[in-house]
Chains A and B, each alone.
Chain A
Amino acid sequence: MLGRVTQKTWSMLVYLFLFAPILAVTLMSFNASRFSKYPPTGYTLDWYVDAFEDPAIVQAILTSAFIAIVAASLATIIGTLAAVAISRYSFRLHEFFRATFMAPLIIPEVVIAVALLALSANLNLQGGLPIVIAGHVLIGLPFVLTVVSARLHGLGVDVEEAAMDLGANEVQTFFKVTLPLAMPGVIAGLVLAFTISFDNFLVTYMTAGSGTVTIPIKIYSMLRFEVSPKIHAASTIVIALTVALMLLYQFFSRESEEKTH
Chain B
Amino acid sequence: MTKFDVELDNVSKRFGEFTAVDNVNFKINKGEFFSLLGPSGCGKTTLMRMISGFEAPSEGTIRISGKDVTHDRPYERPTNLVFQHLALFPHLTIAENIAFGLRLKKLSNGEIDRRVDEMLELVRLPGLGNRKISQLSGGQKQRIAIARALVNRPAVLLLDEPLAALDLKLREQMQLELKRIQSEIGTTFIYVTHDQSEAITMSDVIAVVNKGKIEQMADATTIYEKPQSAFVANFIGETNLLEGEIASINGDATVVVVEGVPIKVKSVAGAHVGQKAHVSVRPEKIIFDAIDADSCNHFEAVIDNAIYMGNYTHYQMHLGQGLKLGIDVQNATHCERKSIGESVHIAWSADLGVLLPGEVQ
Number of residue pairs across A and B with beta carbons under 8 Å? 56
Contact B89 A159 (CB under 8 A): yes
Q: Report the count of interface residues on B (CB-CB < 8 A).
A: 23
Contact stretch, chosen from A2-10, A113-121, A161-169, A249-257? A161-169
- Select one of B52, B87, B152 contacting A167, CB under 8 A: B152
Q: Which residues of A contact B105 (CB under 8 A)?
A: 167
Nearest B residue (CB) for A159: B87
CA separation between A165 and B52, bound complex, in Å? Answer: 7
- A161 partner residues in chain B, CB cutoff 8 A: 54, 74, 81, 83, 87
Interface residues in B71-91 by Cβ distance below 8 A to A read 73-75, 79-81, 83, 85, 87-91
Decide if A163 touches B100 in the complex (CB within 8 Å).
Answer: yes
Contacts of B89 in A (CB 8 A): 159, 162-163, 177, 181
Is A153's CB within 8 Å of the partner chain B?
no
Interface 0/1 of B140-164, CB less than 8 Å to A: 0000000011001000000000000
Cβ contact within 8 Å between A167 and B104: yes
Chain A positions within 8 Å of B90 at CB level: 159, 181, 259
A11 at the interface (CB under 8 A from B): no
Contact indicator B152/A166 (Cβ below 8 Å): yes
Residues of B within 8 A of A181 (CB): 89-91
- Residues in B with CB closer than 8 Å to A158 are 83, 85, 87
Find out whether the CB atom of A164 lies under 8 angstroms from the CB atom of B83: no
- State whether the Cβ of A40 lies closer than 8 Å to any Cβ in chain B: no
B283 within 8 A of A: no
Asked if B80 and A168 sit within 8 Å, CB to CB, the answer is no
Q: How far is the CA of A227 from the CA of B31 in the complex (A)?
A: 85
Q: Contacts of A209 on B, CB cut-off 8 Å?
A: none
Contact of A180 among B81, B91, B101 (CB under 8 A): B91
Question: In chain B, what residue has the closest Cβ to A166?
Answer: B101
Q: Taking CB as reference atom, which chain B residue is nearest A155?
A: B90
Residue from A165, A168, A172 with most neighbouring chain B CB atoms (10 Å): A165
Contact present for B91 and A164 (CB under 8 Å): no
CA distance A238 to B360 in the complex (A): 75
In whole angstroms, what is the CA distance A111 to B93 when docked? 50
Q: How far is the CB of A94 from chain B (nearest CB, A)?
A: 16
> Which single residue of chain A is at the shortest CB-CB distance from B145?
A162
For the complex formed, measure the closest distance between the CB of B171 and the CB atoms of chain A, giving whole angstroms.
Answer: 21
Of the listed residues B54, B74, B100, B101, the one surrounded by the most CB atoms of chain A closer than 10 A to its CB is: B74
Q: Which residues of A contact B148 (CB under 8 A)?
A: 166
Question: Is there an interface contact between A165 and B75, defined as CB atoms closer than 8 Å?
Answer: yes
How many residues on chain A are close to B (CB under 8 Å)?
17
When the two chains form the complex, which single residue of A159, A167, A177, A259 contacts B75, counting CB atoms closer than 8 Å? A167
Q: Are A166 and B104 in contact (CB under 8 A)?
A: yes
Contact B74 A165, beta carbon cutoff 8 Å: yes
Do B87 and A168 touch (CB < 8 A)?
no
CB A163 to nearest CB in B, in angstroms, measures: 7
- Which residues, 159 to 204 on A, are CB-close (under 8 Å) to B? 159, 161-169, 172, 176-177, 180-181
> B73 → chain A, closest Cβ, in Å?
7
Q: How far is the CB of A28 from chain B (nearest CB, A)?
A: 47
B75 with A164: CB separation less than 8 A:
yes
Among A162, A172, A177, the one with the most B-chain Cβ atoms within 10 Å of its Cβ is A162
C-alpha spacing A259/B52, complex, angstroms: 28
Chain B proximity of A176: nearest CB distance (Å): 8
The answer to whether A166 and B80 touch across the interface, beta carbons within 8 angstroms, is yes
CA distance A180 to B83 in the complex (A): 21
Complex alpha-carbon distance, A168 and B350, angstroms: 58
Task: Tell me the complex Cα distance, A260–B160, Å.
Answer: 22
- Shortest C-beta distance, B74 to chain A (Å), equals 4
Which residues of B199-255 have CB atoms within 8 Å of chain A's CB atoms?
none
Complex CA gap A177/B92 in Å reads 10
The answer for the CA separation of A183 and B154 in the assembled complex, in Å, is: 32
Chain B positions 14-70 with a Cβ under 8 Å from a chain A Cβ: 52-54
Compute how far the CA of A164 lies from the CA of B73 in the bound complex, rounded to whole angstroms: 8
Q: A162-B89, A165-B52 are in contact. Are A172 and B73 (CB under 8 A)?
A: no
Are B85 and A169 in contact, CB atoms less than 8 angstroms apart? no
Q: Which of A159, A164, A180 contacts B74 (CB 8 A)?
A: A164
A177 to B100, CA, bound (A): 10
Say whether A166 contacts B52, CB under 8 Å.
Answer: no
Minimum CB–CB distance for B342 against chain A, Å: 55
Which residue of chain A is the closest to B81 with respect to CB atoms? A165
* Distance of A165 Cα from B73 Cα, bound (Å): 9
Contact B83–A167 (Cβ < 8 Å): no
Q: Do residues B83 and A168 form an inter-chain contact, with CB atoms below 8 A?
A: no
Q: Contact between B73 and A168 (Cβ–Cβ < 8 Å)?
A: no
The listed residue (B54, B73, B91, B100) touching A166 by CB distance below 8 A is B100
Which residue of chain A has the shortest Cβ distance to B101 in the bound complex?
A166
The 8 Å CB contact of B104, one of A159, A162, A172, A180, is A172
**Residues of chain A contacted by B52 (CB below 8 angstroms):** 165
Add 10 more A-B contacts to A161-B74, A166-B149 (CB < 8 A): A158-B83, A159-B88, A161-B54, A162-B83, A162-B89, A166-B152, A167-B104, A169-B73, A181-B89, A259-B90
Of the A-B pairs whose beta carbons lie under 8 Å apart in the complex, a sample of 27, sorted by A's number, is A158-B83, A158-B85, A158-B87, A159-B87, A162-B81, A162-B87, A162-B89, A163-B100, A164-B74, A165-B74, A165-B75, A165-B81, A166-B75, A166-B80, A166-B100, A166-B104, A166-B148, A166-B152, A167-B104, A167-B105, A167-B152, A168-B75, A168-B100, A168-B104, A177-B89, A180-B91, A181-B89
- A interface residues, Cβ below 8 angstroms from B: 158-159, 161-169, 172, 176-177, 180-181, 259
Q: 4 nearest interchain CB pairs?
A: A158-B87, A166-B101, A162-B87, A167-B104
